[in-house]
Amino acid sequence: MNRRNPNMRVPEHGRAPFAGETQQRLQRLWETEPGWRGWLSTVDHKSIGLRYLVTAFVFLLMGGVEALIMRVQLARPDATVLTPAQYSQLFTMHGVTMIFLYALPVLSGFSNYIWPLVLGARDMAFPRLNALSYWLFLFAGVFLYASFPFGQAPNAGWFNYVPLAGLEYNSGPNIDIYALGMVLLGISTTVGSANFVVTLLRMRAPGMSIDRVPVLVWGTLTASGGNLLAVPAVSLAFLLLWFDRQFGTHFFDVLNGGRPLLWQHLFWMFAHPWVYAIVLPAMGIVSDALPVFCRRPLVGYTPVALSTVATMVIGFIVWIHHMFATGIPALALAFFGSASMVIAIPSAVATFAWLATLWTGRPVFKTPFYFFAGFILLFVIGGVSGVMTAAVPLDWQLNETYFVVAHLHYVLLGINVFPVIGGVYYWFPKFTGRMMSERLGKLGFWTMFIGFNLGFFPMHIAGLLGMPRRIYTYAPDMGWNTVNLLTSIGSFVFALGVLVFIVDVAWSYRRGPLAGANPWDAPTLEWSVASPPPPYNFATLPFVASRHPLWEDRLDTPSGAARSQLDEGYILDHGREALATTPLEARPDAILRMPSDSFAPFVLGVFAACLFGAMALHAWTGCALSIVGCAASLIAWLWPERALHQREPEGVKVHGGAHG
């Protein structure tokens, strides 16, 4: 018996049948039913994480195709490939897709898959809520794109400014679809963020105190906390706009006492923190994976973790820098301009930590390393151009020009896509048990890196030359011909690099060499189990005594210091069970009975999507029926389950009936 808790079993070493029987029992308890039933009902975080990744990449490809069509239109002056109305719908859906349907969901995919593994847990805190967040994300994306075949896609830009988005200037269903789709997507983001926060606070392995969690966890935790505060603002804005358009309210109607700037405040209170929500987890990927290829721990773990949190905190007080040209008071200009410059400090802390890790390490030049190193350069370029627009007079000059478009793409594509693709190469062996091609990987990196900079750096010059945003064509004598042609060429080169990556993924999934358990010689817990992991993740829940449990033998550890015990932790096999620990020190606190697979999250997601669809069609009877369906789904979700085995060990709290 383990001395920390005499009522929890630990493996008996030297008895192989014991381990085999335990693993078989856990396999039966945690595995998903095969076939379509299991596909629709699974709550396994690994399956949900992979679905997030695949779905987000599909949206990335759709957004990329939209971008290429726009670049064909803008490659030469006076082009007629698109009409103004088609261009408005295309650039709006491109922005919506890349910012809302790709950038954060793809990071949620990594975190859904990796978090329980790096934290030493069996699953996320609320498995069914996790499944619901995916289904709502998928249905929100389908809802938004269903408008495209009818020529009624959102058309007022991803920022959707009023009064252009108001009923008097935009009477079709385009804006209604955008408003309702974003509210549905906001529900997905909110429930997913709450799940991440609770998982971090309560589901860490014993001994994994708050100062031992990987930086990826800090990044996603900070982004999730920011989302819980920011998403309600934009959901309220879209709901108020829908009321204005459907019921004649006047929240944004200036002729009836409304305030158009209220929209900008509510939108950017959300949208600027959202930028950090889609950057900080990507920075966490780099902070955790780059040191693996430098063969040393990250320099400055504590400053990097603190800078991650500080970035989001400061990010909530800089939204006004999107509104410098709206005539706000001079005092506000000074305050928010200063805050926008200060936010560069925590980003610089992370940058110097990465550079110091490179400088003091022994880099191994594998494909993921290339993407992470390239990200650092793009991060600096995007950060510097952002700080430039924090200077109010310069912002007045550059506002609504292509300089801002260039900055946005360096931030959203350069700082998100490169770490994401590097992360796919890094964790692909964990996902599939196979390695990706080094030759194709490096070819894809250089193609993407050259294409990205060729495509988006000239946008800075176009902005300095006065090219405004959101124009669908231009005259040949404006001086913008060359930079636009270079941007279009670079965009297609970048797309070719993405195609190489997709080919590599498809080939490696079927024919890639077997990876083994820890092909990169990485230090974190996810590499201590088989690749791909079993349904239960860990047969015995490990004890952790350091930030790098798999590197303890090679790091300078004081004599007599505690060592991590990866095969001597708790066995929880009386039904689907997980261990809860205290929020700060990660001491064992409770046994959680985890919910089984269920159709309820999928059905609830379907009825929620039907509800929003009925609202868009003004089918109020359909709304009522959908609400009844949602209520029935929730009852099925929360219906008590009979535990497979009942036990009440002394000294340990048992939490039953966890339906999340």
Q: What is the DSSP string of 478-515?
A: SS-HHHHHHHHHHHHHHHHHHHHHHHHHHHHHHHPPB-
Q: What is the pLDDT of residues 635-660, one digit of tens each?
A: 999 988 765 444 443 444 444 545 56
Local confidence band at 10 (pLDDT 50, 70, 90 cut-offs): very low
Q: What is the pLDDT of residues 534-557, one digit of tens each?
A: 999 998 889 998 999 999 888 776
DSSP state of 577: E
- Are residues 294 and 362 in contact, defined by beta-carbon separation less than 8 angstroms? yes
3-class DSSP assignment, residue 566 = strand
Return the percentage of the chain with pLDDT > 90, whole number. Answer: 75
pLDDT for residue 12: 44
Query: Element (H or E) spanning 565, and its range?
Result: strand 565-570
Given strand 653-655, what is the order of strands in its sheet? Answer: 577-581, 588-593, 653-655
Cα separation, 409 vs 49, in Å, equals: 25
CA proximity to 524, closest of 368, 298, 223, 197? 298
Query: Within a 10 A sphere around the Cβ of 487, how many other Cβ atoms?
Result: 25
Cα separation, 359 vs 73, in Å, equals: 44
Structural domains of the chain sorted by starting position, each given as residue range(s) with its CATH number in brackets: 45-511 (1.20.210.10), 598-650 (no CATH)
Cα separation, 244 vs 248, in Å, equals: 5
Q: What is the pLDDT of residues 59-99, one digit of tens each?
A: 999 999 999 999 999 999 999 999 999 999 999 999 999 99
Put residue 78 in one of left, alpha, beta given phi > 0 → left and psi -120 to 50 → alpha: left
- Are residues 433 and 532 in contact, defined by beta-carbon separation less than 8 angstroms? yes
pLDDT for residue 560: 57
Dihedral sign computed on CA atoms, order 489, 491, 497, 499: negative
Cα separation, 188 vs 413, in Å, equals: 23
Local confidence band at 561 (pLDDT 50, 70, 90 cut-offs): low
Local confidence band at 401 (pLDDT 50, 70, 90 cut-offs): very high
**Cis omega (within 30 of 0) on the bond before 532?**
yes
Cα separation, 92 vs 461, in Å, equals: 23
Cα separation, 227 vs 276, in Å, equals: 10
Cα separation, 126 vs 484, in Å, equals: 48
Cα separation, 81 vs 84, in Å, equals: 10
Cα separation, 657 vs 593, in Å, equals: 6
pLDDT for residue 92: 95
Output the CA–CA distances (angstroms, integers) from residue 156 to 26, 91, 408, in the order listed: 52, 9, 18
Query: Within a 10 A sphere around the Cβ of 614, how many other Cβ atoms?
Result: 19
- Are residues 180 and 221 in contact, defined by beta-carbon separation less than 8 angstroms? no
Q: Which residues lie across from 514 on neighbouring strands?
A: 434
Q: Which residue has the higher pLDDT, 389 or 492?
A: 492
Q: Is the pLDDT of residue 17 over 50?
A: no
Q: Which residues contact 239 (CB under 8 A, 6 or more apart)?
A: 179, 183
The predicted model scores a pTM of 0.93
**Cis omega (within 30 of 0) on the bond before 163?**
yes
Q: Is the pLDDT of residue 489 over 60?
A: yes
- Are residues 252 and 264 in contact, defined by beta-carbon separation less than 8 angstroms? no
Strand-pair category, 588-593 with 577-581: antiparallel
Q: What is the pLDDT of residues 242-264, one digit of tens each?
A: 999 999 899 998 888 889 999 99
DSSP code string of 336-376: HHHHHHHTHHHHHHHHHHHHHHHHHS-----HHHHHHHHHH
Cα separation, 617 vs 627, in Å, equals: 15
pLDDT for residue 659: 58
pLDDT for residue 1: 26
Cα separation, 639 vs 477, in Å, equals: 69
Strand-pair category, 588-593 with 653-655: parallel
Taking residues 210-217, report their average pLDDT.
94
Q: At what angle do helices 438-464 and 402-409 cross, to 10 degrees?
A: 160
